[in-house]
């Protein structure tokens, strides 16, 4: 098939384009002008059993495409086989992890996209694959708003939650992914089902949700992990509905330390809502919001520091006043003493005897 192009070598117009081979050849001098042509339309040719499409479909992840992705010594001519093997392995492991967490294929695909972004920016170097997969899945859970915790994924993968957290923070910051803050309300129903509350599970959950909403309005969630707020809210709600759940029962469900739970309870007790009865709390919604507990603690320390400084300054000032008074009193007493001796014509010894 001749085209209107000219040969760069001889200037001939006899250019033949073969879509089957994907090249353009000058029929005059035999020079190959272009090869590996890509056509956007689908063409057909006659074969023995009818018509068939010319060429074959090449997906983005196949090894037959002439891609230039990859890095370093693994880049091979027409494609990056090493990168494709890495992506296939990641897809398999991420899909398995999502199945263990009871997540659909949509979450696995989103996590795989996060992994591809990390791979293209070389963020996977020097890190274990299991940590990268788990971090990508956790980023997906955070962005999609599921009720999965970091410790849930670390338990499934049998890895340290702190190492997983460091990997997650590194990836999210390097990829500039806007991770929304965790809403404690997502975990209330999940934890309530584990407390064995029977038929009142929903009722206790609604009360706990109201408590969490009040905590959020009083800024108790600022800088706090959601599990601590959920544990405190569920313990209060369970006792409001006459369930004798102990702190150990709640700790075993939400997986927090006893000191953390006590701290959240004491912080809620210091708010005006903490002093309301059950009926008042369920009917009255206080409009005034409170400052975050950390802000209150800082202001309390400032007041104590100012008080200590004021007391110290008063003590120093009192010492100076006492010193001046003693000095002035000494001068006054000495002058009176001299006047008495002069008036009676006695020396100090005789005056002392006379006084006796």
Q: What phi, psi does 28 have (nearest 5°)?
A: -85, -50
DSSP 247: H
Mean pLDDT per block of 10 residues along the chain (356 residues) reads: 70 77 74 66 63 60 47 44 87 92 91 91 89 93 88 89 91 88 84 86 88 80 80 88 86 87 84 73 69 66 75 76 70 57 53 50
**According to the model, what pLDDT value does residue 55 have?**
61
Could you write out the three-class secondary structure of 45-97? EEECCEEEECCCCCCCCCCCCCCCCCCHHHCECCECHHHHHHHHHHHHHHHHH
CB 197 within 8 A of CB 173: no
H or E stretch at 51: strand 50-53
Nearest-angstrom CA–CA distance, 276 and 43: 77
CB 204 within 8 A of CB 237: yes
Nearest-angstrom CA–CA distance, 304 and 317: 20
Q: How far is CA 202 from CA 52, 249, 255, 281, in A?
A: 62, 18, 21, 18
**According to the model, what pLDDT value does residue 74 have?**
42
Neighbours of 87 (CB within 10 A): 17
Do β-strands 32-34 and 23-26 pair in parallel, antiparallel, or remain unpaired?
Answer: antiparallel
**According to the model, what pLDDT value does residue 139 have?**
92
Candidates 259, 279, 200; CA nearest to 234 is: 200
């Amino acid at each position: 098939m001749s085209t209107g192009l000219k040969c760069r070598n001889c200037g001939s117009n006899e250019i033949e384009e073969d879509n089957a081979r994907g090249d353009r050849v000058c029929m005059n001098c035999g020079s190959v002008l272009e090869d590996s042509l890509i056509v956007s339309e689908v063409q057909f040719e006659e074969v023995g059993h009818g018509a068939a499409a010319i060429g074959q479909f090449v997906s983005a992840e196949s090894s037959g495409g002439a891609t230039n992705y990859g890095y370093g010594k693994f880049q091979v001519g027409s494609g990056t086989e090493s990168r494709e093997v890495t992506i296939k392995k990641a897809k398999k492991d991420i899909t398995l992890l999502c199945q263990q967490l009871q997540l659909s294929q949509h979450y696995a695909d989103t996590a795989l996209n996060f992994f591809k972004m990390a791979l293209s920016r070389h963020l996977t170097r020097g890190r274990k694959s299991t940590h990268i997969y788990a971090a990508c899945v956790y980023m997906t859970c955070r962005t999609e708003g599921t009720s999965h915790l970091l410790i849930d994924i670390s338990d499934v993968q049998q890895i340290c939650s702190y190492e997983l957290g460091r990997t997650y923070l590194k990836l999210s910051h390097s990829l500039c992914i806007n991770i929304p803050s965790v809403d404690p309300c997502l975990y209330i129903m999940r934890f309530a089902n584990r407390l064995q509350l029977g038929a009142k599970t929903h009722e206790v959950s609604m009360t706990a949700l109201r408590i969490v909403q009040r905590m959020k309005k009083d800024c108790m969630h600022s800088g706090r992990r959601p599990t601590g707020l959920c544990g405190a809210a569920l313990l209060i709600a369970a006792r409001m509905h006459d369930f004798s759940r102990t702190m150990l029962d709640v700790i075993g469900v939400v997986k927090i330390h006893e000191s953390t739970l006590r701290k959240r309870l004491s912080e809620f007790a210091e708010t005006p809502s903490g002093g309301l009865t059950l009926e008042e709390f369920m009917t009255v919604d206080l409009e005034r919001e409170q400052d975050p507990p950390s802000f209150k603690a800082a202001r309390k320390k400032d007041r104590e520091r100012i008080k200590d400084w004021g007391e110290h300054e008063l003590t120093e000032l009192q010492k100076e006043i006492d010193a001046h008074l003693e000095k002035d009193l000494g001068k006054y007493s000495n002058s009176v003493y001299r006047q008495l001796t002069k008036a009676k014509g006695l020396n100090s010894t005789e005056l002392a005897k006379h006084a006796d």
